[in-house]
Chains A and B, each alone.
Chain A
C-alpha cells in the first residue's frame, strides 16, 4: 500500500467524485492485497443496520432463482468452490485421505457423463484440515493442484500465546499448506481495540509468506453486525486475502445477513483500494438450495468475478452430498438418496 494511494482514499469521502475512485475488476489473476495502514476513520465509518440487512437477506432468495440446466451448472459451480473440510478431534490419516479422494472426484463419473461436463474436471476448491494432517492431505492431493488449507493460530479460540500462533502458521506453511485460515482474538473486537486486531492479523500475514491467508472473524462471537463490518475492514487493511465468517465451532456460523455485511465491506475495500478480497462463509451451509443463495448474494452484491475459487469458497463438509443428490435428480428425474452418493 503506497502512501499516495492512501491519501487519495482519504479524500474519497469528501470531494473526489466517485468516478475517480473506480477500479477495474480483476481479470484472470487477482493481485494480492498488500494491506494498508490502519485507517480508523474508515473503520469507524462502517455501519450495519441489522433490520435493514436482514430484510435484504430475507428477500434476496425470493428475487433470484435458477432452474433446470442453470441450476445444475450453478450447483457444479458451488462444488468447485467448496473447501472440503474436516476439523474434528478424531481426524486420522484414514478419513483425511478419503476426504482428499472425494475432493479430486466430487461428482460421480456417470453423472459427469450425463451432464456433459467431463471436460470441466470439476474438483473442490481446497481441502481444509488441522495442522497435524497437512502432510497427509498434501500427499493425497499430489498432482491434483487442489490446495491444502490449514486452520491455524490456536483454532478455534485463538487464545494461545502470540508467538505460538505465529510459529503455528510458519509450521503449516512449511508442511505444504498453501492456504492458512487464521482466527482473530475476538476480544479485540469486543473491546474496540482495533490497533491490537490490526497488529495481530498483520503479524499472521507476515508469517504466511506466499500462502494465502483467510481471516476467520468468529462472527458468532462478535455480538453486532457493526462489529462484524469493522472487524472485516481491519482484517483487510492488515492484509487478509480472504475474510471468513466462522470456525464452525461458534453457536451461530455463516448466515446470509452476516455474509451480506461482510461482502459489502469487501466492496467498500475494493472501491477504496482496488484490491479484490475473497469471501468464505463457513459452518451451517448444508443444503444445495442454501449454497445457491450464497451464489446469488455474491453475484448481486459483488459480481460474477466473485464466483471463482480465487475469490469465493464455502467452508463445508455435508453440503457436497446434498448437491450430488440434486444433480442426480436433475440427471435422472428421480429424487435421490444420500446413501447412493459416494461418501466423504
Chain B
C-alpha cells in the first residue's frame, strides 16, 4: 500500500480515516470503567453484586464492567418508577414537553460522544451512528415533545398507563431506547429500561445526560443485565406495561409470562422481510437499495430486506450487478469513516451467521462472497449472497440477523406477493417498480407493517413502525405509537361480576330428527344450530346444551360446538377474508345498515327473547343494538388512515388494514348487545369473525342467524359457534390461522387466551373487567376500531 503522496497519486487507494475514540474512552474512564444501575436519579454502587464485561466487538477489548441486575435491583427500579409516577403524570403536557425538548437538545449537544460510544460498544460504523442512529434519536425526542404538548387535546380522556418496563435489543441500542422512552415519557409514564447485555453503554450515558438535563429522579431508570434481569422485570407485579423489541422466541416467552397479568404489552419482533424487484425497476437504484436493506448495520436489522425476490427476466442481470457492487463494499474498523460495514456484535452472533450460511450451502443454495477478505481479528463477516434458494430452505425461512441475502425469482406479481407472504413474519417489505399502478397494487397485498416503495429502511418518528403476524404487535412512532402508552382515564375495570354465575345445563343427546314438538303443539320447534360459512350447521359433537331462562325453565337448546366446529368456522372465515377486506367501506356500511333494518323489523321478538333470558326489559337492549349497528355502518367508510409528515419528498400513508380473522368471545352481560358491540366493529373494519356468544344466554344470537341470512352478509364473514366459552376460546386462541383473539369474560379465561395466543403471536384483546356496554364512551367507537385494524405505513418517495 502506497503511503507517499506521489505513490497514492498513482494507486488512488483509500487510506485510513479514523474517528477518535478518546472522548468516549475519557467518559468511560471518568466512571472508572465500572457502572452500577441508574435508579431513582443516581448510580447504584458499582462494586456490589455480580458484574459482566462490555466488549468492543471490533477489537475484543473490554470497555467497561457493568452490573448484572438482580431481583432486588428490579424491585428498587420499579419502586423508584412508581414513586416518581404521580408527580410526573400530574405535570401538564407542556411541562413534560419541555423535558422531552431538553432531552432532544441534550442528545444533539452530545451527538458525537454518543455516536462514538455506540460504534465502539456495538461494532456498527461511525458513519451510521453519526448520520442515522443519533440524528434519529434526537428526532424522536423532538417529535414526542410535540405529543406531550398536544396530549391533553389530541388524546383527550386518556392518560399514561403507568410504570413501564422496556427491554431493548443490541442492534440499535440508543435508537431503540429513544423509540421506547420518548413516547412513554410523553404519555406521562415512568420507565425502567433494560438495554441488551452486549450494548448497555449509551443507555447509561443517556441516563446520566437526562438527569443532568433535569429529568426528575425515577422517571427514567436504567437496569443492566441479561435475560434473567429482563425476566424479573417482566414478572414484576407492579409494572403496568411491557414493551419489548427482540426475537420472536423471547416475545413468545414474555406473552406467556404476562398472560392474565393485566399488563399491557407491545412486541416488536423478528422478520424475514421481502425485497421485491419488478422488471421495470431502476436496477442500479435497486442495487443501492439492497445495500441499504441487508448491508446496513451488518444486516443486524429486524426489518432487513433479507429475501430478494426478482422477476425472472431481470434476475441474472440484477445478480451480476449486485456482485459487482459487493466487490466495492468496505468492511473494517467501525470507527473508520470510509467503511460500509463494521463488526458483528459478538462472537456468538458471528457463530450463528456462520452456521446458518453453512447450512444454506449444505441445503443446496449457491453462496457467493466478494474476493476481498475481512479483517482477521475481531467479529467481522463479509457480505454474502445466496442464489438458487428454495423457499423451503432454512436460510429462506429463518432470520439470520447478519449480512446474508437470499434470492429467489418469481414470474408474476401474484407469485411475488405469494412468496413475500410465505413466512410467519410480517414486519416490513420493499417494492421496486417504476409503475405506480403495480407498486400501489402490491403494497396492500403484502403482509407487513411497513412497506417501502422504491426505498428501504427509512425510519422516522412521525411514522409508525411495527409488524404483522409473528413480527409482533403495537406500533412505535407516530400517533399510532402513542396509543401503546395510553389508557382511558375511566379505565379501571372491576373483575367480571355478572350477578349470577354462568349456568349451563348438562349435555343432552340430540334426538335423531333434530326436531321435538313442544307439548303445547302450537309451535314448531326451533333447534339452534351453529352458523358457519353462511349456513346453519349441526354441531360436530352431536350434543346440545339446554339454556335456562331467567325463571329457571329451559328456554331452548343450542348446539355444543367443539374444536372441529371452530376449525370449520375459521376455515370459512379465512375463505371469506380476502374478498371482505377488499370490499369497499361503503359496501360494508350498507350491509351493516341492512342488518340493523332487519333486526328492527323483528325487534319485538328479540325484546321478548332477551326478557325471557335475562328477566330484564329487552326493548332497550334491542334499540341499543340497532344504534350500535348504525354506528359501525357509519364508521365503515370513515375509518380513514393518515398521511404522515415524514422528512422525505413523498407521502407516507398510514393505512388502516383489517387484522384478518378475529376470534371473538363476546361479553355475557348483554346477550345481544355484547355480541353486536364486538362483532360489528370487527366486520365494519373488514375482518371476518368467528364469534362465541354469551355462554348462558346465546339464544338471542342464534335467533340472529336469520337476520344475518337476510341481510346480504357474505358467507363466512360472520361465523358463530355456541358452546362452552372458555373451551372454544382456547381453541380459537391456539389456532394459527386466527389473527387476533378478543375475549371478554373471566380472569381465568383472559389468562388462558393470552397464554394460548403464542403459537402464531396473534393479537390479543382480553378483558375481565366490566364495561358499560350501553354507554357510547366505553361500548363503541375508535377504541374498537383500533383493535380491529392494524396500521400499515407505506412510504412512497416521488419525483421524476
Contacts and interface: CB of A to CB of B under 8 A. Distances in A.
A225 interface: yes
Interface string B348-385: 00000000000000000000000000000000000000
A53 B798 CA distance: 11
Contact of B9 (A13, A51, A55, A117): A117
Contacts of B112: none
Interface in A44-78: 47-56, 59, 62-70, 72-74, 76-77
B285 A56 contact: yes
Given A66-B15, A300-B328, A73 B9 contact: yes
Contacts of B12: 73-74, 77, 295, 299, 304, 307
Q: Is the interface of A mostly helix, strand, loop or mixed?
A: helix
A287 B338 CA distance: 20
Interface size class of B (residues with CB under 8 A): 35 or more
A47 B316 contact: no
B4 A69 contact: yes
Contact of B285 (A17, A48, A307): A48
Interface string A164-191: 0000000000000000000000000000
Given A18-B316, A117-B9, A69 B282 contact: no
Contacts of A59: 131
Contacts, number: 113
A226 interface: yes
Nearest to B14: A66
Contact of B15 (A54, A69, A120, A226): A69
A68 B15 contact: yes
Interface in B131-178: 131
A17 B16 CA distance: 38
A13 B7 CA distance: 41
A47 B17 contact: no
Contacts of A307: 12
A80 B285 CA distance: 31
B513 to A, nearest CB: 68
A50 B316 CA distance: 24
A2 interface: no
Given A13-B317, A56-B288, A63-B340, A49 B434 contact: yes
A51 B337 CA distance: 25
A26 to B, nearest CB: 16
A51 B317 contact: no
Contacts of A56: 285, 288
A50 B797 CA distance: 9
Contacts of B454: 49, 51-52
B434 A74 contact: no
Given A47-B282, A66-B14, A224 B800 contact: yes
A51 B434 CA distance: 12
Interface in A181-238: 224-226
A171 to B, nearest CB: 37
A55 B288 contact: yes
A67 B16 contact: yes
B6 A63 contact: no
A56 to B, nearest CB: 5
Given A63-B340, A67-B15, A300-B328, A116 B798 contact: no
A14 interface: yes
A252 to B, nearest CB: 14
Interface size class of A (residues with CB under 8 A): 35 or more
A70 B328 contact: no
Contacts of A64: 14, 338
A69 B455 contact: no
A115 interface: yes
A255 to B, nearest CB: 14
Contacts of B284: 48, 264, 267
A239 B147 CA distance: 59
Contacts of B46: none
A49 B319 CA distance: 19
A69 B288 contact: no
B173 to A, nearest CB: 21
B316 A51 contact: no
Contact of B799 (A13, A17, A50, A73): A50
Contact of B455 (A55, A115, A117, A225): A55
A88 interface: no
A120 B7 CA distance: 10
Contacts of A4: none
Interface string B662-692: 0000000000000000000000000000000
Given A13-B317, A47-B280, A52-B285, A119 B797 contact: no
A67 B338 CA distance: 10
Nearest to B289: A52
Contacts of B320: 18-19
B9 A120 contact: yes
**Chain A CB within 10 Å, residue with most, of B3, B288, B292, B340:** B288
A174 to B, nearest CB: 36
Given A51-B454, A70-B14, A76 B285 contact: no
A67 B316 CA distance: 38
B798 A51 contact: yes
Nearest to B649: A51
B9 A77 contact: yes
Interface string B304-329: 00000000011011011000000010
Interface in B1-24: 3-9, 12-17
**Chain B CB within 10 Å, residue with most, of A55, A68, A299:** A55
A48 B432 CA distance: 12
**Chain A CB within 10 Å, residue with most, of B7, B284, B292, B649:** B284
Contacts of B316: 17-18
Contact of A62 (B127, B317, B799): B127
B768 to A, nearest CB: 49
A69 B649 contact: no
B759 interface: no
B650 interface: yes
Interface in B751-800: 797-800
Interface in A292-344: 295, 299-300, 304, 307
A66 B17 CA distance: 6
B648 interface: yes
Interface in B400-441: 434
Contacts of A51: 454-455, 648-650, 797-799
Interface in A62-102: 62-70, 72-74, 76-77
Contacts of B5: 69, 72-73, 76, 115-117
Nearest to B3: A69
B434 to A, nearest CB: 5
B8 A73 contact: yes
Interface in A240-270: 264, 267
A65 B338 contact: yes
Contacts of B328: 300
A116 B6 contact: yes
Given A51-B798, A304-B12, 4 more contacts: A18-B320, A55-B288, A70-B8, A117-B5
Interface of B: 3-9, 12-17, 127, 131, 280-282, 284-285, 288-289, 292, 313-314, 316-317, 319-320, 328, 337-338, 340, 434, 454-455, 648-650, 797-800
26 contacts: A12-B317, A17-B316, A18-B316, A18-B317, A18-B319, A19-B320, A49-B282, A49-B285, A49-B454, A51-B799, A56-B285, A63-B338, A63-B340, A65-B17, A65-B337, A66-B15, A67-B15, A67-B17, A69-B3, A69-B8, A70-B17, A73-B9, A77-B9, A120-B9, A264-B284, A267-B284
Interface of A: 12-14, 17-19, 47-56, 59, 62-70, 72-74, 76-77, 115-117, 119-120, 224-226, 264, 267, 295, 299-300, 304, 307
In order of increasing CB-CB distance, the 5 nearest A-B pairs are A18-B320, A70-B15, A73-B8, A51-B797, A52-B285
